[in-house]
Homo-oligomer: A and B are copies of this chain.
Amino acid sequence: MRQSELFTKTQKTLPKDEESKNAKLLLQAGFIHKEMAGVYSFLPLGRRVMENIMQIIREEMNALDGQEIFLTSLQDSAPWRASGRWSDEVVDVWFKTKLKNDTEIGLANTHEEPLTALMRNHIQSYRDLPVYVYQFQTKLRNELRAKSGIMRTREFIMKDLYSFCRTKEEHEQFYELAKQSYLKIFDRVGLGEQTYVTAASGGSFSKYSHEFQTVCEAGEDTIYIDEQQRTAVNKEIIDEPEYDKSKLKEAKAVEVGNIFTLGTKYSEALSLLYQDEQGKKHPVFMGSYGIGPARTMGTIAEVYADEKGLVWPEQVAPFLVHLIALPGVEAKADGLYDTLQKQGIEVLYDDRQHVQPGAKFADADLIGIPYRAVVSEQTVKQNSVEVKKRLEQNPQLIPWEQSYEFFKQHSFASRQGHRN
């Protein structure tokens, strides 16, 4: 895409109340826009990152035999009353509104109840199980405070997967597969090294659940890491007798995903039952598995950004190459842009005519695309293009004809299979 046509500009002033590093940088670079505290819109660059993250997640959900659906934001109160979670005292983040006839309805803060009710139409027999259902849907949560940028917001898309199994044993097998799938997702988006499967409280469902915690100074959680096992324990349960704090390393971390054994809490409350081979009825054994793509994006921003701006891993970057044309050689740069486009390489091409080279370089660092490619009079003389990875100090000169192949290799290695 030509940057002269991209409608967003990097911003010089920021909303006054913005505290978090991820939101400051993403606002400044024009990836997001702040609608109000804890509510952010996604602009073209930000939407592309979100789309890349969601596509990686979708591929891994499909690999788990997940079936994609799309539930609603408006929710009938009936299934929530049945599960005991309609009251604002039980769930303190409800947004509610009213139909014209004064009936109170809820705005989705999660979807266990409506989905469990829905599945009654489709699960009757042991032959209908197991099934795994997921969606990317907006959650609305009336958070008292929202101060972590796009990492904790009042409105966000969540990928939520739900599993429906016959027995606890069948559930546990899937739960283990889901855990591996999540590790693969965080690895693919570029957070593999910093992310730990973390034992956490199971809430009202079971003794423990698992969180995926990414080590990061801006994190709201504290975890204790066992580096050898690549696991961690959330502070909330570290005092349980089975953990030995002294052998673990304390760190701040962001919860980028979580997986829960729900058991039969919702299936019993909402009568989601199946008949076994003998015709006997049992409640379905459930689990839920969440990842917030925007929180993942915010965490990537927090983990990798430096003093100059954002730094995107290749797999999720809005473009692979940021091509910059310096004055006098625009036609040459145009040619390279066209060639790269034809090769299917995603390029943001800074063809802006009224912007100084220094400002172009500063914008490129702020936006954080993995490869910067500069075409200048000097490089043209040497029949080459100057390429620099975002975090490297020294650029390398790559001969003109090799540059397509260079980027194509990187493009195929990191990004194929999940881009449309």
* 6 chain-A/chain-B pairs, Cβ below 8 angstroms: A33-B118, A35-B75, A40-B72, A50-B70, A97-B97, A99-B142
A121 and chain B: residue at smallest CB distance: B11
- Residues on B with C-beta less than 8 A from A154 are 74, 99
- Residues on B with C-beta less than 8 A from A33 are 118, 121
A101-122 residues with Cβ-Cβ distance < 8 A to B are 105, 107, 114, 118-119, 121-122
Query: Of B41, B97, B127, which is within 8 A of A96 by CB?
Result: B97
A77 and chain B: residue at smallest CB distance: B36
| Cross-chain contact A69 with B44 (CB below 8 angstroms) | yes
Interface-located stretch among A2-10, A229-237, A384-392 = A2-10
Q: Ordered nearest first, which 4 A-B pairs have the shortest CB separation? A: A42-B70, A7-B131, A41-B71, A95-B97
| Cross-chain contact A155 with B6 (CB below 8 angstroms) | no
Task: Give CA–CA (A74, B11) in the complex, Å.
Answer: 23
- Known contacts A47-B69, A71-B41: does B35 contact A114 (CB below 8 Å)? yes
A2-35 residues with Cβ-Cβ distance < 8 A to B are 5-9, 11, 30, 33, 35
A127 and chain B: residue at smallest CB distance: B354
- Asked whether any CB of chain B lies closer than 8 Å to the CB of A201, the reply is no
Q: Mostly helix, strand, loop or mixed at chain A's interface?
A: mixed
List residues of chain A with CB under 8 Å of any chain B CB. 5-9, 11, 30, 33, 35-36, 39-44, 47, 50, 65, 67-76, 95-100, 105, 107, 114, 118-119, 121-123, 127-128, 131, 133, 138, 140, 142-144, 154-155, 354, 420
- Known contacts A95-B97, A107-B97: does B41 contact A72 (CB below 8 Å)? yes
- Residues on B with C-beta less than 8 A from A114 are 35, 41
Query: Of B7, B71, B155, which is within 8 A of A74 by CB?
Result: B155
Known: A8-B122, A33-B118, A41-B114. 10 other contacts (CB 8 A): A7-B122, A11-B121, A35-B72, A35-B74, A40-B72, A41-B69, A97-B107, A99-B142, A100-B142, A100-B143
Instruction: Tell me, rounded to whole Å, the shortest Cβ–Cβ distance linking A276 to chain B.
Output: 15
| Cross-chain contact B122 with A30 (CB below 8 angstroms) | yes
Query: Of B11, B30, B70, B155, which is within 8 A of A73 by CB?
Result: B155
- Known contacts A9-B121, A121-B9: does B36 contact A76 (CB below 8 Å)? yes
Instruction: Tell me, rounded to whole Å, the shortest Cβ–Cβ distance linking A300 to chain B.
Output: 18
